[in-house]
Structure 1
Amino acid sequence: MRIHSKHFRLCWDSNDSDPIHVDTWVRAALTPDLEVLDLYIRPPQRFEFPSTLFNDAKSLVVLKLNGDIVLNAPPSFSFPSLKTLLLESVWYANLDTFSKLVSCCPSYELEINAPALEYLYFRGYIIKDLFLGNLSNLVEANVGVDFDSSEDYGNRIRDFIGALSNVKSLHLDLYLTRCLCNATEFNLPMFHNLAFLNFHVGACLWHVLPHLLRRAPNLAELVLHKENMECYKSYEEDSSIIERRFYEDVPICISSHLKTFHFIGFQGLTYELEFVGCILKTARFLKTMIGSSAHIDSGKKFRVLKELLMFPRESRTCQIAFS
């Protein structure tokens, strides 16, 4: 069977079908002209994805893999035409694969070069030697990577974040933000193009956010996603951190560019109110401040909203809501 098409999409969700048919179709679709490969596969057994993809699909523009798919890639590879990459719920065959590794695994190197890539969605667990190469046209990145500590731990995190410095939209989940605990402002690159930031914050991470905000002078929309944790040392300590970091030197993006601020997981705790108060007092062009939480009842939400509405606001047009 030969498939002469630039686009190949397959949705396979079956418990009683033979995965060999999927293998036949995918191998037939991997032609030198293929531009879009989109697979959603839930077979009875994991599907071994043909490794020829990484050498033969040079014309690929969009790659989306979702499901029980086992990837077995060479340690370095290049997709010169790739613009969109989505890997979700996939499996990794060995240490040379675009990888999800445990900390006891031997060291390996994996470099990703995709100069045409515009959208990157990547989730990993313990990463030892993952290198982002040429991603010069990247517009949006959604990443969650937990690095294994080593002698060059700080430098590798800095280099990883540095490869994302041209993006306009950046989503950092708790795995990656946790790796930035020991970061300083000078460890981080400048994000001159960054307009949207979704930052997951957990214990001991409040000091990282102002460092990052000072490196994103044109940020217009901030989403702060607080994880539901009980491991904060004390509310007083968090309030002290926020007060020191923001009142000493307000990031220019807050005072001059921020228009939308969304605090997900907001519960009206002392240090949270302190943080929101800092934003409202200094954000001159803020149009919308939204707090949201699934963990407090409607009565407390109303009381917290009343307290927020009493805060002084630098922006006369700022609207405050709590849901």
Structure 2
Amino acid sequence: MAGSVTRSQSKRKKAKLSNDKDIVVDRISNLPDSLLCYILSFLPTKEAVGTSILSNRWKPLWTLVPKLDLDEVNIKYKPLTHIVYRILALHIAPFLKKFSLRIKCGAREYFHVETCIYTAMMRNLQQLQLEIVLNNYTEEPFRFPHRFFSCKTLVVLELRERIEIDLPSSFEFPSLKILSLIRVCYSDDDCFSRLISSCPVLEDLSFEKAGIPISKFKICVPTLKRLRMKFRKVDYELVIDAPALDYFEFQGDLRNFNFLKEVTKLVEAHVDIKAVDSYDNRRIGNERGYEIGYGDRVFRLVKELHNAKFLSLSPGDKECLDFRSIYPSIFKNLVRLNFGLERCNWHVLQALLQVAPNLEVLVVKKSYNGENKLGWMEPLHGPTPSYTPGYLLSHLTTFNFHQFEGSDREVEFVKYILKEARVLKTLTIKVTGKLLKESVLQKLSMFPRHSATCLFTVESIYC
């Protein structure tokens, strides 16, 4: 009897659970349009349009999203007119916050590209991202139309690849704060400088130049806060007048580089120099790969960054014979240094450690294998600052060394850090090759150290 009652109760519970499962409440669809559109704005337009098949409730929502993100790089010309035009025609948002178009096309399709962009701009466009990938690289680049330079609402402009900038006689981007120009073409040498000088509230500038040389870049923007640059296989002269700069990033070939004013507000800087044969062929052919004037160019750039709190520096694989002159500059604000170590730049690292009395974190990433003749040497060659003995590494708490191979120079460097860093808390060594973690850890523990509380960590990495 009891068993019968139990089975009956079990059946009723299962029936109840079954009924509960049949009642599914679609709480997402009951959210207001504004919130659903906000959610859809994080999706590419193609996926946002796909939600229209869910129900009648979702069918019109994508047309209200103030963002269009179209990647048509793998679609031919006919779908462009049928798809992009159709999307623009159906889209009924009162304004466009962002219009992104990445398309592969030829010169015959430029008219359609221009029409799409113009349609977007007529909706008080705030952000434009445009990338042109040509069917045939020998074709003329897409010329950014003059009428687009009159857009008063544009806050972000990002142009990439085969686009030519040819400026009208007069124009202004009164609202533009972020400008990105990646491998675009310029109609003349003054075009770049004229463009950025016509952006009175510009705060963020990114540009990359490769291949075709341009004689001079001038960046004169009092409001500029963030600057990112990349030069590849191109000769140039660069002048920067940006006193409000707080973030600086440079990558590539280092040529004629000049800051007109001190960047006193600088907080973070990243410099990754890729040394190549100079265009004027002024080289001395020796085993060190020394290039006349190279060290001076590196020094002048790094010296301008002496106010930075965070510095990431890879000075390249050419020897900087004249880098010792950095001593007059004191990096008193520097608390973190990430250093890319090459065969010929150990002394650059030495020089920086001599002039960074408040350094707290040091990360060294070695980019070569094997021993070299220009490793760590103590004492440091050349003149040293008078304050150095009492302050050198006195604030260093963290030291990381990547790709440690156990060479004599590397061992001497680690010993030096342990001896000088009086408040060191953590020392992390990442070893490569056949080095055993245990043997490295045992060797480290035998070195004299100034800090009794330092924690050693040895990790294996595989390159």
What TM-score do the two structures reach when normalised by structure 1?
0.73
Report the CA distance between 1:232 and its aligned residue: 1.6
Report the CA distance between 1:276 and its aligned residue: 0.6
Q: 1:47 aligns with which of 136, 140, 163?
A: 163
Residue 458 of structure 2 is aligned to residue 322 of structure 1: yes
Matches within 5 A, 1:147-158: 157-158=298-299
Partners of 1:280 and 1:313 within 8 A in 2? yes
The 3 A distance-change label for structure 1 pair 11 and 83 is: same
Q: Which residue identity lines up with residue 310 of structure 2 in the other structure? A: S
Q: Which residue of 2 aligns with 1:296?
A: 433
Report the CA distance between 1:206 and its aligned residue: 2.2
Q: Which residue of 2 aligns with 1:167?
A: 308
Q: Which residue of 2 aligns with 1:133?
A: 260
The 3 A distance-change label for structure 1 pair 219 and 4 is: farther
The 3 A distance-change label for structure 1 pair 275 and 11 is: farther
Residue 417 of structure 2 is aligned to residue 279 of structure 1: yes
User: Larger radius of gyration, structure 1 or 2?
Assistant: 2
Per-residue deviation, residues 115-168 of structure 1 (Å, max 9, x unmatched): 2322221123151x3212333322211123459679977765544333212111
Partners of 1:71 and 1:93 within 8 A in 2? no
Residue 233 of structure 2 is aligned to residue 143 of structure 1: no
Q: 1:69 aligns with which of 176, 180, 184?
A: 184
Report the CA distance between 1:199 and its aligned residue: 1.9
Higher RCO by CA contacts (8 Å cutoff, separation 6 or greater): 1
Q: Residues of 2 paired with 1:92 and 1:113: CA distance?
A: 24
Partners of 1:81 and 1:116 within 8 A in 2? no
Q: Residues of 2 paired with 1:251 and 1:185: CA distance?
A: 21
The 3 A distance-change label for structure 1 pair 101 and 38 is: closer
The 3 A distance-change label for structure 1 pair 126 and 118 is: closer
Q: Which residue identity lines up with residue 177 of structure 2 in the other structure? A: V
Report the CA distance between 1:258 and its aligned residue: 0.9
Q: Which residue identity lines up with residue 132 of structure 1 in the other structure? A: F
Secondary structure at 1:291 match in 2: strand
Q: Which residue of 2 aligns with 1:182?
A: 322
Q: Which residue identity lines up with residue 421 of structure 2 in the other structure? A: A
Residue 366 of structure 2 is aligned to residue 238 of structure 1: no
Per-residue deviation, residues 250-301 of structure 1 (Å, max 9, x unmatched): 57241x21111111221121211111111112211212212224x414x533
Q: 1:114 aligns with which of 242, 257, 262?
A: 242
Q: What runs of 5+ residues in structure 1 fail to find an aligned partner?
A: none
Secondary structure at 2:428 match in 1: strand
Partners of 2:397 and 2:425 within 8 A in 1? yes
Q: Residues of 1 paired with 2:354 and 2:133: CA distance?
A: 50
Q: Which residue identity lines up with residue 395 of structure 2 in the other structure? A: H
Report the CA distance between 1:212 and its aligned residue: 1.5
Q: Residues of 2 paired with 1:162 and 1:282: CA distance?
A: 25
Secondary structure at 1:262 match in 2: strand
Count of residues paired in the alignment: 302
Partners of 1:71 and 1:91 within 8 A in 2? no
Partners of 1:194 and 1:219 within 8 A in 2? yes
Q: Residues of 2 paired with 1:13 and 1:264: CA distance?
A: 40
Residue 331 of structure 2 is aligned to residue 203 of structure 1: no
Q: Which residue of 2 aligns with 1:221?
A: 361
Q: Residues of 2 paired with 1:180 and 1:258: CA distance?
A: 26
Q: Which residue of 1 aligns with 2:88?
A: none
Per-residue deviation, residues 29-70 of structure 1 (Å, max 9, x unmatched): 77455443345x46xxx3334567xx845754333444x434
The 3 A distance-change label for structure 1 pair 7 and 143 is: farther
Q: Which residue of 1 aligns with 2:148?
A: 28
Aligned Cα root-mean-square deviation (Å): 4.2
Q: Which residue of 2 aligns with 1:252?
A: 391
Secondary structure at 2:346 match in 1: coil
Partners of 1:169 and 1:195 within 8 A in 2? yes
Report the CA distance between 1:92 and its aligned residue: 4.9
Q: Residues of 2 paired with 1:118 and 1:35: CA distance?
A: 20
Residue 310 of structure 2 is aligned to residue 191 of structure 1: no
Secondary structure at 2:353 match in 1: helix
Q: Residues of 2 paired with 1:262 and 1:165: CA distance?
A: 22
